[in-house]
């Protein structure tokens, strides 16, 4: 798991995950951070009230089978998804090629990946109450 001070935590035998149909599978060796994202882009991309993103250094992620298909979701980022089932899998910022975020719901055992903070809190839907007591960080972008 990731620590709030930015240190990575190794996962021992690794964390595994993938898409709904199993076409895309991955393994993560260490997690940097986990957070809720309430920005409009994540909300619309996931079709949910918010996203929960698990950030990993690119070198700590390996694709075990097919790789995601990517699409540009904004001028600053691209999103990965399974071309067979459409499951959203990842987020990568152009300015930070050394890291990638994976959606917590794609992990085989997501229960240990608890968010440490909220991001984009000004765009949080008023009825969303999970993680309300966690620290808040704001996004500079409005999409």
Average pLDDT score over residue span 123-131:
94
Contact, 15 vs 109, CB < 8 A? yes
Q: Where are the domains of the chain?
A: 9-123
- Fold for 9-123, please state it: 2.170.150
Three-state DSSP class for 48?
coil
Q: What is the pLDDT of residue 2?
A: 46
> pLDDT grade, residue 11 (50/70/90)?
low
Distance CA 17, CA 26 (A): 5
Confidence of residue 46 (pLDDT cuts 50, 70, 90): very high
With CA atoms as reference, report the closest residue to 68 among 116, 114, 20: 20
**Residue 118 CB neighbours (<10 A):** 22
């Amino acid at each position: 798991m990731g620590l709030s001070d930015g240190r990575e935590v190794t996962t021992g035998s690794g964390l595994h995950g993938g898409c709904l149909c199993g076409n895309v599978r991955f393994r993560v060796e260490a997690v940097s951070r986990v957070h809720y994202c309430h920005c409009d882009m994540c909300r619309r991309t996931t079709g949910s009230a918010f996203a929960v993103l698990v950030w990993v250094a690119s070198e700590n992620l390996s694709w075990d089978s097919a790789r995601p298909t990517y699409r540009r979701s904004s001028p600053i980022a691209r999103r990965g998804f399974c071309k067979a089932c459409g499951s959203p899998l990842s987020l990568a910022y152009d300015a930070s090629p050394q890291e990638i975020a994976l959606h917590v719901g794609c992990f085989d055992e997501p229960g240990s990946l608890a968010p440490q903070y909220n991001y984009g809190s000004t765009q949080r839907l008023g009825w969303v109450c999970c993680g309300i007591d966690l620290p808040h960080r704001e996004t500079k972008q409005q999409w």
